[in-house]
Amino acid sequence: MSELSRLRWLCRRGMKELDLVLTGYLENHYSDAGEHEQAGFRKLLELQDPELYGLVLGKLTTDDGNMTTVLRTIRKLAQSVR
């Protein structure tokens, strides 16, 4: 299984909202992101849904700069869909 296929599988979550934003980031930004940002995305995928959802909504924060960069991009994507 290629890395993109594995990441696509990991984007499948118990919450449809997370599926959409994570898959959107993977398909539209991941390949152009730098190594550190890609690492931040992979770390986000390791989180449990409630924590990840809180981070995406901005109700929780992280000290990890790489994850913060990814979260900022995910939020911009979500706003452009509205």
pTM: 0.92
pLDDT of residue 79: 78
- Which residues have C-beta within 8 Å of that of residue 61, sequence separation ≥ 6? 55
CATH code (residue 26): 1.10.150.250
Domain containing 63: what range? 3-81
pLDDT of residue 33: 95
Report the number of distinct structural domains present in the chain. Answer: 1
Q: How far apart are the C-alpha atoms of 82 and 69, rounded to whole Å?
A: 21
Q: pLDDT in tens for each of the 82 residues of the chain?
A: 799 999 999 999 999 999 999 999 999 999 999 999 999 999 999 999 999 999 999 999 999 999 999 999 999 987 776 5
pLDDT of residue 81: 62
